[in-house]
Amino acid sequence: MIADTADTAELHDSIISWFDANSRDLPWRRNASPWAVMVSEFMLQQTPVSRVLPVYEAWIERWPTPADLSKASTGEAVRAWGRLGYPRRALRLHAAATAIVEQHGGEVPKSHEALLALPGIGEYTAAAVASFAYGQRHVVLDTNVRRVFARIAAGQQFPATSLTSAERELATSLMPEHNAHRWAAATMELGALICTARAPICSECPVADLCSCRWRKEGYPAYDGPPRSGQAWAGTDRQCRGRLMAVLRDSPVPVPKTQLDLVWTDELQRERALDGLVADGLVEPLEDDLYRLPE
């Protein structure tokens, strides 16, 4: 744990100063409007920045406000989502935009409670929008922040596989009274660029010389928790769903089932994936065994 208030203040100053000098020039930081931040947070879930950037910029240019998106069909949203993966996020973002128009006059709500009440928004996204767009004081815990806090304060290489109450209490205790939104962004950036999962660059860490990192101080003890298996892709239902979605996304007209059958050889898995896409509202079945993105 961080020793005392003075050490915590020094930690805040060091990490925020590092962020001010080294943060990436990202479009949702240049334009930190509530809608821009919300779109970025939806897209960045389980997706690296490099993949998000071109899709985000095209999306904001096409739909610069929630009202603009709400006027589009869900199929247009799914098609514009492209190959970001987890396309249900596009449906949820569209639903959130519609709710913002219908319930909040087209303006992204400011309160954490109102944000949480929007479709498809959980605790993390509500806190991130309230913090980054409105400068409010909230705990914002993504994978990068959790890893930074696990190393600095708990002396562990990695955090638990799922968020714990102890982690939230720790994050709350470390949050500064002022500039909490900068602290949230700075710790997130530190985890993304320096305190990375596989190859942390401790020589460039702003707290390395402060003896503030317990993991470093204790000799980098290896993670000894439950196995941290990466997400498989090849041969999974997710890959099959992606292949089916790619065909439908690239076609301006409904696609015959026979064409979809060509993209995956395992018939049972293909049928299961297609049924799942229909159940999720991502694909619409038509007469004559045709399929399309939803209208």
Residue range 165-200, pLDDT digits in tens: 999 999 999 999 999 999 999 999 999 999 999 999
What confidence tens digit (pLDDT) does each residue in 61-79 have? Answer: 999 999 999 999 999 999 9
Q: Indicate the Cα dihedral angle 4, 198, 187, 116, nearest 10°.
A: -120
Tell me the β-bridge partners of 256. 290
Taking a C-beta distance cutoff of 8 angstroms, is the pair 278, 245 a contact?
no
Question: Which secondary structure element, helix H or strand E, spans residue 102, and what is its range?
Answer: helix 88-104
For 103, list phi and psi in degrees, rounded to 5: -110, -20
% the chain with pLDDT above 70: 97
The set of residues, in sequence order, having a beta carbon less than 8 Å from that of 161 and lying 6+ positions away, is 225, 226, 228
List Cα–Cα distances, 31 to 27, 54, 202, in angstroms: 6, 15, 31
Q: How confident is the model at residue 3 (pLDDT cuts 50, 70, 90)?
A: very low
d(CA 116, CA 131): 13
Closest to 94 (Cα-Cα) out of 109, 114, 80, 113:
80
**DSSP at 222:** P
What is the residue type of 37? V
Close Cβ partners of 291 (under 8 Å, ≥ 6 residues apart): 248, 254, 255, 256, 257, 260, 274, 283, 284, 285
Q: Are 32 and 59 in contact (CB under 8 A)?
A: no
The answer for residues whose C-beta is within 8 angstroms of residue 289's C-beta and 6 or more apart is 256, 257, 258
Whether the CB-CB separation of 243 and 253 falls below 8 Å is answered with no
Which is the catalytic residue, given 41, 76, 167, 189? 41
Q: Is 61 among the catalytic positions? A: no
Q: What's the Cα-to-Cα distance from 134 to each of 15, 56, 131, rounded to whole Å? A: 21, 20, 6
pLDDT at 2 over 70: no
The domains located in the chain, with CATH, are 33-132 (1.10.340.30), 237-292 (1.10.10)
- Rounded to whole angstroms, the Cα distance separating 32 from 227 reads 37
- The Cα–Cα gap between 152 and 173 comes to 13
Distance between CA atoms of residues 218 and 202, nearest Å: 14
Task: Kindly tell me if the per-residue pLDDT of 47 is higher than 70.
Answer: yes
pLDDT at 196: 96
Each residue of 219-237: pLDDT tens digit?
Answer: 999 998 877 766 678 899 9
Q: Model-level pTM? A: 0.91
In angstroms, rounded to a whole number, what is the distance separating the alpha carbons of residues 258 and 274?
13
Which pLDDT value is given to residue 17? Answer: 96
Whether the predicted pLDDT of 1 surpasses 60: no
Q: Which residues pair with 290 in a beta bridge?
A: 256, 286
Residue 245 CB burial class (10 angstroms; 0-12, 13-18, ≥19): buried
pLDDT at residue 4, rounded to an integer: 57
Q: Report pLDDT digits (tens) over 196-216.
A: 999 999 999 999 877 679 999
